[in-house]
Structure 1
Amino acid sequence: MSEHRAMLGSAAVASAAVALALHGLVLRPRMLTWGATRGEAARSYPGDEIVPGADSSSTMATTLPAPPSEVWAWLAQMGCDRGGWYSWDRLDNGGRPSADRIVGQWQGLEPGQRLASVPSGRAWFTVAVLVPERSLVLRGDTRLPSGRPFDPFGGPVPRAFVSSVWGFHLEPVGVDTRLVVRTRGRSRPRVLTRPMDLLFWEHAHFIMQIRQFHNLRARITGAA
């Protein structure tokens, strides 16, 4: 009986090792570069320099059936206090449906502007890079474990934090638009935040970003 249990235990360990290797070598790289070409994943984008020494990054991309000017109009009105995030609204917009039309009052963006990242408005992204119809980079700096924002330029950096950028970059491709989304993040203490990245945040971003791509395409097609 003890030998049988030992064999089962060894088989379980071996299976777990194979699964981890498969995820690390095959699935994870594909997840972090979903839809992007090798060139898109390898190149640098505006805003990359905002998080020097990043511990984590991803580059995901899709082609949308509209020129950059039309795609930009949807991106420009993102925010919980504006048009939403076009992803899973129950998770990131308090259950309020994201906008399904272009709203003029939400089209104005300025560098340094805050876009609420939660319905309460207690956390936000800051517009860090703004090149209309080309690049929109949002920056977030969050204390851990409270989830409250902090000013990276207004005092000492907390001992536990996450600083990240979420960049949207548009390139014309004929009459369509190539939308490349680049994320970069740096967090501390890494001994705690790295397991959370691997087990939760990378998967969460993958799921939410794919949903956003899908919903943007649906809105653009409907608007057309």
Structure 2
Amino acid sequence: MGEHRAVVGPAAAASVAVVLLVHALVLRPRMLTWGATSEEVARPYPGDDLIAGAQSGSTMATTLPAPPSKVWPWLVQMGCDRGGWYSWDRLDNGGRPSTDRIVPEWQSLAVGQRLTSVPSGLAWFTVAVLVPERTLVLRDDTSVPSGRPFDPADGRGPGAFVSSVWGFHLEPADPNTRLVVRTHGRSRPRVLTGPIDLLFWEPAHFVMQTRQFHNLRARLCRAVTGNPGRP
């Protein structure tokens, strides 16, 4: 039995190492740049300079079947206390379905405004950059492990934190829109947050962001062409 365990141990370790290597060299780069062109990945976007020393990030993109003027109203009304996030609602909207229509009272948005990120309202994104029909950048600053937001401007940040931005950038692609979503963030202590980013947050963002792309496309198909789009 002792010899058997000695053989299995190194084999299991080698298998884990191979899986991690494949993820790092093949899967992760594709996941972090899903749908984006090399030019979109390389170019700067508004909000890139908001978090100095960013340690992680992604650039994902999709083509939506409507001009920016038709896409923008859907983005403006995001938030748990507004239209939802158009992703997996059971995971990020307390099970409440994201809206499937444009709601006029949610069309007002301003820099500094808070958009609740959890149904309880105890955490939120802050609108950091706003250029109508062009750019919407949301910022999140959260202390760890409490999950409570903090103000980075007061110069007294917590010892453990996560700061990130989630930027939506619209480019005309007549008659459509290229929606490029850029994220980047900084956190500490990195010895703990780094592995969590790699193993949880990056895959979670991929799953949620691709779902949001799908649902935005479906809503625009219904609103603009009357075609419900693929399920």
TM-score under structure 2 length normalisation: 0.94
1:144 match: 144
Distance (Å, rounded) in 2 between the aligned partners of 1:21 and 1:79: 37
Counterpart residue identity of residue 140, structure 2: G
Distance 1:149 1:5 in 2: 47
Matches within 5 A, 1:91-110: 91-110=91-110
Classify the secondary structure of the residue corresponding to 1:48.
coil
Deviations 1:2-57 (A, max 9, x none): 44443332222222111111100000111111111111111110000001110110
Which has the higher mean CA deviation after the structures are superposed, 151-160 or 81-90?
151-160
Q: Is 1:10 equivalent to 2:2 in the alignment? A: no
Q: CA RMSD in A?
A: 1.0
Q: Tell me the equivalent position of 1:70.
A: 70
Relative to 1, partners in 2 of residues 1:76 and 1:6: Cα closer, same or farther, differing over 3 Å? same
Letter in 2 for 1:26: V
How many residue pairs align between the two structures? 224
Kindly provide the CA deviation profile for residues 70-100 of structure 1, in whole angstroms up to 9, marking residues without a partner as x. Answer: 1101001000110000001111111111010
Give me the whole-angstrom Cα distance separating, in 1, the residues matched to 2:131 and 2:10.
56
- Give the aligned residue type for 1:50: L
Identity %: 76
Gapped regions of structure 2 (runs ≥ 5): 225-231
Q: Identify the range of structure 1 (148-157 vs 71-80) with the bigger mean alpha-carbon deviation.
A: 148-157
Match of 1:161 in 2: 161
Matched to 1:166, the amino acid is W
- Indicate the SS of the match to 2:23: helix
2:59 alignment partner in structure 1: 59
The residue number in structure 2 matching 1:197 is 197
The 5-angstrom pairing of residues 24-39 of structure 1 reads: 24-39=24-39
Query: What is the aligned partner in structure 1 of residue 227 from structure 2?
Result: none
2:229 counterpart residue number? none
The match for 1:184 is 184
| Alignment-derived partner of residue 127 in structure 2 | 127
CA distance in 2, matches of 1:46, 1:83: 24
**Paired position in structure 1 for 2:116:** 116
Instruction: Report the secondary structure of 1:172's partner residue.
Output: strand
What's the counterpart of residue 82 of structure 2?
82
Letter of the 1:150 counterpart: F
TM-score, normalised with respect to structure 1? 0.97
> What is the rounded CA distance, in whole Å, between the counterparts of 2:11 and 2:196 in structure 1?
27
Task: Output one character per residue of 1:117-145: Cα deviation in whole Å (capped at 9) or x when no partner.
Answer: 11111111000000000000000100110
Moved more, 181-190 or 146-155: 146-155
Matched letter for residue 118 of structure 2: V
Give the Cα separation in 1 of the matches to 2:147 and 2:9.
39
